[in-house]
Amino acid sequence: MGEPPAYVPGHGLLRGRTALVTAAAGAGIGGATARRFLEEGARVLLSDAHRRRLAESRTALADEFGADAVAAQPCDVTDEEQVRALFARITEEHGGPDIVVNNAGLGGTADLVDMADDQWNRVLDTTLNGTFRCTRAALRAFRDSGRGGVIVNNASVVGWRAQAGQAHYAAAKAGVMALTRCAALEAAAYGVRVNAVAPSLAMHPHLVKVTSAELLAELTEREAFGRYAEPWEIANVIVFLAGDYSSYMTGEIVPVSSRRA
C-alpha cells in the first residue's frame, strides 16, 4: 500500500475566524478538521453527540492550542432544540460563526431487500436531515450577523457512484449534494458560500467498526494510490473551501478521491 505524504503545517489561512465543526470528537474527518482549523489560526467550537469523546477531544486540543482557542458543546443533530442551542452559544460568545462544517453523518452496510425502516430512517435523519438542520441554523446566523460566512458539508462519492449495501447512505449523501447546491443559490444573497467535499475512502476508527475488513480491502484496491486517505487529507480540502483561496466557489461538490474510474 502507498504511503501518505508528509503532514502539511499550518499557514494562518483562517486566522481570526470562528468555526463550528459537528461530529468533531475522535479521530475521524471532523476531528482532523478541527485540528487543521486550529493550526490555521481559527477559534473552534467542537460539537458531537458523544459527550465523553467530545470532552476528551476538547481537553487534548485545549492543552495544545490554549483554552481560549477551543470550546465544546454536545449536540445531536437529529434534535432541533440541541442544534438551536449550539448556534445560540456561538452567537452569544462570538457574534455568530464565520465557518460551519457539517460533518455529522451515520453509515452502515445493509442490502436494500433486508433493510428495515429504522435503518433507513436513522441514516437519513443524521446524515441528510442533520445537515439540513445545521445549514438552516447557520444561514439564519449568517443572515442576522450580516458579515457573510462559509458552510462546508461532508458528502461522499457514493452520492454519485453506486455501491451495494449503501442505498441509505448513498441516498443521504446525494441529498447532501443537492442541498448544498440549492442552499448556495439562496445563501449568495447573504454573502455566504456553501460547498461540499466528497471523499472516497478516509480511514478512521468508526469506519472500521461499521465496515467489514473485506469491503475495506476491496475499496482500498479501487484507489489509484493504492491506499486510503488520511482524515487530515480530507480536512486540507475543507480548509481550502473554508478560506479565501476559494472565494469564487459556491454550490460545488469537490471530490477528494483517487478512486479509479
Active site residues: 169
Count the residues in the chain: 261
DSSP state of 49: S
Q: Which three cell numbers stand for residue 227?
A: 491506499
Environment class of residue 194 by beta-carbon count within 10 Å: exposed (0-12), middle (13-18) or buried (19+)?
Answer: buried
Cα 134 from Cα 78, distance rounded (Å) = 10
Alpha carbon of 134 to those of 50, 61, 186, 206: distances in Å? 17, 24, 15, 22
Task: For 117, list phi and psi in degrees, rounded to 5.
Answer: -55, -40
